[in-house]
């Protein structure tokens, strides 16, 4: 199963773009990359997912490298409410299971 | 759309009692649901995969007789923590696998269990 590696913590100034990296060097060709975030004492919230192409929605953009070994989640204009733990997940091959890594604790500073 | 609810949101019980937690998909049918537990300042740990109409599949190290899972309908899965002990105190989160899109999971708000 593909594992993910993320920095444990990051700070970002309010109003600036937050760029959260994720390494998934063992990803297989048909495995999607999913991003979720978890605000304290709540269930994880879906943000975005992708396979090969870059994706954008109302919350964020996802940039996947051409070799698919890494990706970056971009929050274009971070707000204080974006302070959370962000998880990058590659779904276990052949199943629907998610295996969570340790995530990145993003702190948006006023 | 894609809303998952859990009940109760928090529960306190005495050691030795059993506690049931419900997970419902409110606006979609979920053939597969997942149960996670999360200790303070740690990541989510997958406990089991729950399939409608069949036995749950437990992850290694999770006691199936202690954590009973029932998935009797396409919108409801339950987790029963039997003979709870203080070390079972944790945040329990369920998720449901959607049947459309690219199979993303949608998570419930979690249930905080405290065993005294």
DSSP state at residue A91: P
Average pLDDT over residues B53-69: 93
Is residue B99's pLDDT more than 80? no
A44 to chain B: which residues are within 8 Å by CB?
44, 93, 95, 107
Identify the pLDDT of residue B104.
82
A30 touches chain B (CB under 8 A): no
Average pLDDT over residues B81-87: 96
CA dihedral defined by A43, B95, B11, B83, rounded to 10 degrees?
Answer: -140
pLDDT, mean over chain B: 92
Average pLDDT over residues B62-66: 95
Contact A91 B103 (CB under 8 A): yes
Contact call for residues A84 and A106 (beta carbons, < 8 A): yes
CA distance A98 to chain B (A): 8
The Cα–Cα gap between A70 and A15 comes to: 25
Q: Per-10-residue mean pLDDT for chain A, 110 residues long?
A: 88 97 89 93 93 94 95 97 96 78 95
CA distance A110 to chain B (A): 23
A103 to chain B: which residues are within 8 Å by CB?
43
B2 to chain A: which residues are within 8 Å by CB?
46
The Cα–Cα gap between B103 and B106 comes to: 9
Identify the pLDDT of residue A41.
86
Identify the pLDDT of residue A26.
87
CA distance A48 to chain B (A): 9
Q: How far is CA A99 from CA A92, B18, B105, in A?
A: 7, 28, 12
Summarised one tens digit per residue, pLDDT across range B22-39 is 999 998 888 889 999 999
Q: Select from B104, B106, B113 the residue whose CB has the most chain A CBs within 10 Å, as the one to mutate to test that interface.
A: B104
Is residue B115's pLDDT more than 70? yes
Q: How far is CA A47 from CA A85, A86, B13, B63, in A?
A: 12, 9, 34, 32
Is residue B102's pLDDT more than 70? no
Pairwise pLDDT comparison (A61 vs B72), residue with the higher score: A61
Pairwise pLDDT comparison (B67 vs B98), residue with the higher score: B67
Contact B107 A44 (CB under 8 A): yes
């Amino acid at each position: 199963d593909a594992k993910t590696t993320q920095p444990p913590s990051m700070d970002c100034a309010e109003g600036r773009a937050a760029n959260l990296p994720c390494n998934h060097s063992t990803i297989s060709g048909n495995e999607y990359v999913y991003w979720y975030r978890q605000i304290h004492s709540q269930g994880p919230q879906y943000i975005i997912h992708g396979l090969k192409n870059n994706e954008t929605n109302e919350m964020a953009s996802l940039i996947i490298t051409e070799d698919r070994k890494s990706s970056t989640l971009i929050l274009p204009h971070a707000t204080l409410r974006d302070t959370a733990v962000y998880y990058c997940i590659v779904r276990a091959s052949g199943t629907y299971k998610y295996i969570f890594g340790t995530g990145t604790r993003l702190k948006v500073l006023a | 759309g894609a809303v998952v609810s859990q009940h109760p949101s928090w529960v306190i019980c005495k050691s030795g009692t059993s506690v049931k937690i419900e997970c419902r998909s409110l606006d979609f049918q979920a053939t597969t649901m997942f149960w996670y537990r999360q200790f303070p300042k740690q990541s989510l740990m997958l406990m089991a995969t729950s399939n409608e109409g069949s036995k749950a599949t437990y992850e290694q190290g999770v006691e199936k007789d202690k954590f009973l899972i029932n998935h009797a309908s396409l919108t409801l899965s339950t987790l029963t923590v039997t003979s709870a002990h203080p070390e079972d105190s944790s945040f329990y989160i369920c998720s449901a696998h959607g049947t459309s899109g690219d199979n993303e999971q949608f998570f419930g708000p979690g249930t905080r269990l405290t065993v005294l």
